[in-house]
Amino acid sequence: MQKQKLKAVVLLSGGLDSATTLYVARSQGFDLHALSFRYGQRHIHELDSAARIARAAGVMRHVVLDVNLRAFGGSALTDDIAVPKHREMAEIGAGIPVTYVPARNTVFLSLALAWAESLGATDIFIGVNALDYSGYPDCRPEFIAAFEQMANLATKMGVEGGARFRIHTPLIKLTKAQIIKTGTDLGVDFALTSSCYDPRADGRPCGACDSCELRRKGFAELGLRDPLER
């Protein structure tokens, strides 16, 4: 009889970080349950990337949930606020940019927790990164630790079952180059991913937003060509 594999819920935006995270979870032997959100993002095409990556990785199930954060406003990623372009690395690292979406990772992790508990799973993966990152507060280790603690008090599994939810952040201390190296080694097809916050009408990356800049820097450091560059 085949041994039952452990299930994990993996947050999958469709970017290269979450794609790599999905493959890390796969390499650790989990049955993959991928979760994406239609949250009002202007870069909605990332959901096509998420679907392609989920298929390529062989997930058990991929859920795309509607959570309209646009109802609340307050971000360049969901509102009619200009996405900053052509910023230097020093600028990207300094302060929290207008692309920050209020409490987004809290909302996403909460919904991942709801699914995990329904599945009887204790493992949740999220591709946050505290190094080559965009300055978002909800990407820091101290936030993740606080969320984990809260999760174990919030749930039936935590309270009655004595289960310990674990929020896995395999990329949190990696540079963008190290993430791309990790993903490449695990077989991620980066041609399927999309990182741009503000893509052109035909879906091609703008090449100038913070996310495009970080991606370019990562591939350049490795001396690799980004398959999305034409």
Q: Which of 22, 113, 167, 212 binds its own copies (CB under 8 A)?
A: 113
Q: Which stretch binds its own copies (CB under 8 A): 47-55, 105-113, 200-208, 212-220?
A: 105-113
126 touches its own copies (CB under 8 A): no
Annotate 147-165 with b (16+ C-beta within 10 A) or e (fewer): bbebbbebbebbeeeebeb
Distance from C-alpha of 20 to C-alpha of 187, rounded to nearest angstrom:
9
d(CA 139, CA 220): 24
Q: Which listed range, 51-59, 137-145, 197-205, 211-219, lies at the site for its own copies (CB under 8 A)? A: 137-145
80 contacts its own copies (rule: CB under 8 A): no
Residue type, 134: S
Q: What six digits make up the tokens of 203? A: 């879906």
Structure tokens at 47: 């959901």
Report how far residue 160's alpha carbon sits from residue 216's, in angstroms, rounded to the nearest whole number.
47
Q: Across-strand partners of 61? A: 33
Residue 158 contacts its own copies per CB under 8 A: yes
Using rule CB under 8 A, residue 110 touches its own copies: yes
Q: Does 225 bind its own copies (CB under 8 A)?
A: no
Residue from the set 51, 56, 60, 63 that interacts with its own copies by CB under 8 A = 63
Residue ranges binding its own copies (CB under 8 A)? 63, 65-69, 71-74, 95-96, 100-107, 109-111, 113-115, 117-119, 137-138, 140, 142-143, 146-147, 149-151, 153-156, 158-160
